[in-house]
Chain A
């Protein structure tokens, strides 16, 4: 089930119109040659055709590579793909691409390719064409084991995404989240890791007690999280490849909300070992903690800002939870959010442009973001019980958990709220999503 969302654009549009009119007038007189300024793009996804790849040799069962690619591109919200049944031809190499046909179909890009089975590996040769420029903009080969065609497909999606948008794709990244299923004694909390499309989910930890706040290490090899498995919250660092777990914080009181530093050597966390919830930084090697805030109010949910410049956190020092920004440890925090009386769980993007957070308005909880340059706040989601935002490592997508028909599901939206899709429903509730980093 898809929740369509949008953001407020009317004011911006009006401003733009005026500006355009002014530019038009000045352009008419300023120079001899006419200058037309285009300041707005199509407010829709880029039409891309992913032609089913030709195959030579036996392919493993399951989804086709081209279908996975098509799904990835669609999921990003930045592309709309053409159904293969509507294609006039199904070329698998550049010489068979008739641009006029694709142009007639309104397509901007065409991906053609061919898979070759050799032994236990599958090789893909693929080319991406710009239909209007009648130009090949990408031509590569990639290979993967027979059992990893999804990896191969996500890799191709990333390459295509980057070729078209100029930004790295996030289709090969991972998601971590917690599912809750069962009731009573059968209730199980499971920490899972999956592809961004929800496929290939693997349970990393199962517990009868709550698991909260998974956080990816910058290299994507570890997860830090809070587990109540001992009956009280403690912070663990879990190496995924080996399954090795370290309980790094098990102080009296609250141990919660771990967040990795950019270098992966320290964690921010909330501890209440001194009586009040404050933000600490723990050096993982020495396990030494440094108290970063000192306020009678609750300070929690810390996150490093872009390039480790400053720390965003939630504090109720103004009476209700609001987002604050502390430029460096010990500095006077600056309040970021003012739009409503509840703003919590800040998640800055990777560019220093926006900070995302849970925002309450009219008893509903949405995900909102504030432009750090202008201070403008916009609500991104239209669902009503939204929590736990997590931004994709390229800053283009946002995943969050939302209540749906009494249970909780994960939803991905483009960071401006333009498009959304829900991850395949799993058993029970799905909570606490965390978007993993791009790993190469």
Chain B
């Protein structure tokens, strides 16, 4: 069959090789790369010059976290901490005066060092700037290169994506095709199955019909035979009735018939008799003359002399035999 000749395309690829997974992975990768690239485009944070940043910051006491559930207990603590604070403030005043002296000295020294440092810094800055420029150039070069690489990579990735997409689409089409074919196949198989089923059903139906027909025929035959038997019985009944009434009619006609003295055994007169269902004579007709008028008249007279012919009550028997019949007058015994 055609369906069987078409090879089914296998789709047993491992999940990780699945085009969807692959695609997702690629997208993730591209996103990471894009983010990285973007960060790379930000200017690099220059380290602040140490001179500026060398500022003394006294550490701020961290505010105690207010915790509601510890309120009661914390009041005690708070008082204690207050005392500590006052003590510390006095200490701090003393230290501060000391510090002021030292500071002034230090400031002097600092100014000097600052001077030196500023010089050094200018130098360093120049160097740093030089370095930075170089670094910037390098960086820019690197960036360009990276950009180029990224571009290439992006292109490559784009191609790969496209390829993947194409492949995916191809795969999709293939799958769809396969699916379509599978569905078609399935449809065909279904159709075939249905056809076979239908055929089977049809066959079954035909067989059933045949069986039914045979059954009906058997029944009909049985019925026919029964009817035939009934008809035969009826026929026999009718015939027997008929014979009975024939005999009665014969007797009545024999009694009513006066064969004329000129009659011979060769003489035959035939009359056609038509009766009403009551047995009354509707019509009588000489259908075959004996050649002897007196003989014919004797026959006609006899036929007409019966006021009522003995006929069966059964209408069918009457219609069959006695509606119309023939009487033959042919003397076999003459006086």
Please report A residues at the B interface, Cβ cutoff 8 Å.
Answer: 9, 12-13, 16, 19-20, 24, 27-28, 33-43, 45-46, 78, 103, 108, 130-133, 137, 162-167, 394, 396, 414-416, 418
Contact = CB atoms under 8 A, between A and B. Distances in A.
A40 B257 CA distance: 8
A38 B269 CA distance: 10
5 contacts: A36-B327, A38-B253, A165-B261, A166-B262, A167-B260
Interface in B76-94: none
A38 B327 contact: yes
B295 A24 contact: no
Contacts of B292: 166
A13 B247 CA distance: 16
Contacts, number: 123
A108 B297 CA distance: 11
3 A-B pairs with the lowest CB-CB distances in the bound complex, closest first: A166-B294, A166-B262, A132-B304
Nearest to A40: B254
B37 interface: no
Contacts of A418: 335
Which of A39, A42, A162, A414 has most B Cβ within 10 Å?
A39
Nearest to A168: B262
Contact of B331 (A28, A40, A133, A416): A40
B330 interface: yes
Contact of B294 (A132, A165, A396): A165
B250 A20 contact: yes
Contact of B257 (A12, A42, A396): A42
Contacts of A36: 246, 249-250, 253, 325-328
A130 B301 contact: yes
Contacts of A35: 325-328
Contact of A167 (B262, B303, B321, B333): B262
B325 A9 contact: no
Given A38-B257, A39-B333, A166 B295 contact: yes
B312 to A, nearest CB: 12
A39 B298 CA distance: 13
Contacts of A165: 260-262, 294
Contacts of B298: 41
Contact of B261 (A39, A40, A167): A167
A416 B328 contact: no
Nearest to B249: A36
B143 interface: no
A418 B325 CA distance: 33
A133 B294 CA distance: 13
Nearest to B293: A166
A162 B325 CA distance: 30
Nearest to A414: B335
Given A24-B243, A43-B335, 18 more contacts: A19-B332, A35-B325, A35-B326, A36-B250, A36-B327, A39-B333, A130-B297, A130-B300, A131-B305, A132-B300, A132-B303, A166-B260, A166-B261, A166-B262, A167-B260, A414-B335, A415-B335, A416-B335
Contacts of A33: 324-326
A107 B114 CA distance: 188
A418 B292 CA distance: 23
B304 to A, nearest CB: 4
A49 to B, nearest CB: 14
Nearest to A419: B335
Q: Is the interface of B mostly helix, strand, loop or mixed?
A: helix
Contacts of B326: 33-36
Interface string B235-246: 000010011001
B302 interface: yes
A12 B332 CA distance: 9
Interface residues of B, number: 46
Contacts of A414: 335
A13 B254 CA distance: 13
Interface string B108-148: 00000000000000000000000000000000000000000
A34 B302 contact: no
Nearest to A161: B261
A108 B327 contact: no
Interface in B50-103: none
Nearest to B334: A416
Interface in B208-260: 239, 242-243, 246-247, 249-250, 253-260
B258 A42 contact: yes
Contact of A42 (B239, B246, B256, B295): B256
A396 B334 CA distance: 11
Nearest to A167: B262
B314 to A, nearest CB: 15
A12 B249 CA distance: 21
Contacts of A13: 333
Contacts of A416: 334-335
B297 A133 contact: yes
B57 to A, nearest CB: 147
B294 A164 contact: yes
Nearest to A19: B332
A163 B257 CA distance: 16
Contacts of A163: 294
B297 A396 contact: no
A12 B335 CA distance: 12
B255 A38 contact: no
A132 B301 contact: yes
Contacts of A43: 335
Nearest to A36: B327
B300 A12 contact: no
A396 B239 CA distance: 41
Interface in B278-335: 292-295, 297-305, 307, 321-322, 324-335
Nearest to B255: A42
Contacts of B324: 33
Given A24-B246, A33-B325, A130-B297, A38 B260 contact: no
Given A165-B261, A166-B260, A166-B294, A38 B305 contact: no
A40 B328 CA distance: 11
Nearest to B247: A24
A163 B335 CA distance: 19
Contacts of B261: 78, 165-167, 394, 396
A190 B305 CA distance: 49
Given A78-B261, A165-B261, A37 B328 contact: yes
Contact of B242 (A34, A38, A45): A34
Contacts of A39: 254, 330-333
B286 to A, nearest CB: 11
A367 to B, nearest CB: 16
Contact of B258 (A37, A41, A396): A41
Interface in B10-56: none
A34 B329 contact: no
B242 to A, nearest CB: 7
Contacts of A28: 239, 242-243
